[in-house]
Structure 1
Amino acid sequence: MRYRAGQAGAPHHTNHEGITMDYGKSGVAPKGKNAPRHTEHNAKGTEQNPFGARFTKAELLARMKAAAEAKKKG
């Protein structure tokens, strides 16, 4: 049974000519790109933060002691 647009009992998804919409042909939203918007200043593998760079325990202790001393002074 064909309905006219606006006729009682007509499905809501009809256009003015009485032809129903095929929403399956509209497609899906495009897939997002998994790329960052910008590069980080301290990204791994850069000059500031090279891969595999680790401080020794002695270097870390020296930094902690220097920070504690600086905090104590002022």
Structure 2
Amino acid sequence: MELLLKCYDCCLADRNGKVPVGICCRCGLAVCAEHAHVAQSTIHRMAGMGKSTSDLPARRVLCQTCHGAERSF
């Protein structure tokens, strides 16, 4: 039996769910390219008295709901 993962937001909109390109880092739902929001994330590490952030930002995938919630502050 083959289990196919589909975009959650596409399935809610009564569309034939698209193939996801990622998983939301906040809620864990699958999202397609149309519904995914890629955001930058600063990497922090405990470094005593030295620099504690990375020079290069990481990236993370968010669904529409979590992206909206983060921007509402």
TM-score range, shorter chain: under 0.3
Higher percent of residues as helix: 1
Higher relative contact order (CA 8 A, sep 6+): 2
- TM-score, structure 2 as length reference: 0.20
The structure whose Rg is larger is: 1
TM-score, normalised to structure 1, is 0.20
